[in-house]
Amino acid sequence: MGSLFEDIDDTIFDDKDVLAEEYQPDEILERDDEIGQYKHTLKDVLFGRNPTNVMLYGKAGVGKTAVTTYVLNELQAEAETRDETSDVHVHRFNCNGETVFSTVRALVNQLLPAHAADFPKRGLSTSDALEEFYSQLERVGGTHLVVFDELDHLEDANTLLYDIPRARAKGDLEDARIGIIGISNNYKFRDRLSSKVRDALNEDEIAFSTYTANELQNILRDRAEKALVDDGFDESAIRLAAALAAKDNGSARQALDLLRKGGEIAERNDDSTVTEHHIDAARDAVRRGRLKDKISDQSTHAQLVLEAMARIENRGDTPARSKEVMSVYQEVAVDREQEPLSTLKSVQNHLSDLTMLGFLTQNQVNEGRGGGVYHEYELDMTPDVVFGTCDELFATTF
């Protein structure tokens, strides 16, 4: 008997990694303006001045991370070639589900020398963590750029964004310099900061718009040429994947997912070229993936509230009032080993945000004469997607 895999001898992919989420393109297409603004904002670093803080805004998959990685790599490489410029250190941190203390603690741990013990998890305050952070920055010296991804998900970002920009003025930093690069999907984030924080931060803003179908075609064609074998794709595949992603949310991630999935389907069918038919077949799988992305974009507590709604929906108990959601939410939080929010109001806020984002539907119920008005909620998607995504998300959080 032959071996199980012996008939597998051909592949449509020349380098499939080029279509993977974590692949960093060495050329960023269609983002010249944003890259130009970024370069202008960070150029002070090359002259040993304080970095200007930056906030990047834009929806999921529009290149905020890819552009940031590219610009910071270029900046570090340039700094190395200039004798008069001190070293540039980059720290990245995803703020989702974090507190200011856990964020600063993680940054301290990134900076500590290899043999040093981690900063304690308990027993010390945020000011202690910040003090240690500044002393580590001074020890390492040079310029530090801290990328805070999903900054809008950080509980009480005000404290952090007030303290760090003032570190030199307060004398916490003398030699080292620090700049903040915040990334957010939420354009309203800035409005939620207090005015004294906005003054301290004094940041430049770079807005990333969604991609048009033409822009997505150029990004996809470039990737397809690298990822697939010669004649491995037809222009019709590029056009359809770009058009679908542009119509939905203008995300390069979604367009690339369609192309990768389309390639996998073509390969499974033993077809040697990816065409629009394969992209069409890839649509459903990618739509499910999109939903997962959308859930992953939410803050931890919003995810827990959503999972509570999925449990209630599964039991057939929807529509549900916020009080019922609150009690199931508390069970979910315990199961997921998260500290639950304690007030009904905060759960109600999440319910109305989730409704606005299209995860839930809300009905207003009028109890009639003398009675009050209250809201009832239903889940507007299949519970399975929510459970599957939360299982993945919370399996990696600890």
Contacting positions for ligand ATP (CB under 6 A): 21, 23, 25, 28-31, 58, 60-66, 185, 219, 252-253, 256
Which burial class, exposed, middle or buried, applies to 395 when counting CB atoms under 10 A from its CB (0-12, 13-18, 19+)? exposed
223 is annotated as contributing to ligand binding: yes
- Of 147 and 347, which has the nearer Cβ to ligand ATP? 147
The closest of 119, 111, 71 to 93, measured between CA atoms, is 111
> For the chain, how big is the Rg over CA atoms in Å?
24
Least separation in angstroms between residue 63's CB and ligand ATP is 3
Is 66 annotated for ligand binding? yes
Residue facing ligand ATP at closest CB distance: 63
Copy the structure tokens of residue 157.
């970002």
Q: Which 3 state secondary structure label does DSSP give 88?
A: strand
Nearest to ligand ATP of 219, 266 (CB atom): 219
CB of 193 to ligand ATP, least distance (A): 19
In Å, the largest CA–CA distance within the chain is: 80
Q: Measured from the CB of residue 66, what is the shortest distance to ligand ATP in angstroms?
A: 3
Question: Residue 258 CB, nearest distance to ligand ATP (Å)?
Answer: 12
DSSP letter at 4 equals: T
Whose Cβ is closer to ligand ATP: residue 31's or residue 105's?
A: 31
Instruction: Find the shortest distance in angstroms from Cβ 252 to ligand ATP.
Output: 4
End-to-end CA distance of the chain: 47
Residue 19 CB, shortest distance to ligand ATP, in Å, is 8
Structure tokens given for 131: 């003090």
Provide CB contacts within 8 A for 142, sequence distance 6+: 86, 87, 88, 89, 176, 177
Burial (CB < 10 A; 0-12, 13-18, 19+), residue 362, is middle
Q: Name the minimum Å distance from CB 73 to ligand ATP.
A: 13
* CB closer to ligand ATP, 29 vs 357: 29
Answer yes or no: is 65 a known binding residue: yes
**Integer Cα distance of 139 and 72 in angstroms:** 22
Contacts of 327 (CB under 8 A, 6+ apart): none
Closer residue to ligand ATP in complex, CB, 194/212 = 212
Nearer to ligand ATP, 28 or 124 (CB): 28
**Residue 32 vs 367, nearer CB to ligand ATP:** 32
- Give me the residues paired with residue 146 across strands: 91, 180
Locate 263 and state its tokens: 């390639």
- One-character DSSP codes across 310-351: HHHHHTT--SEEHHHHHHHHHHHHHHTT------HHHHHHHH
CA 229 from centre of chain: 31
Quote the tokens at residue 249.
Answer: 């949310």
The annotated binding site is made up of 62-66, 211, 223
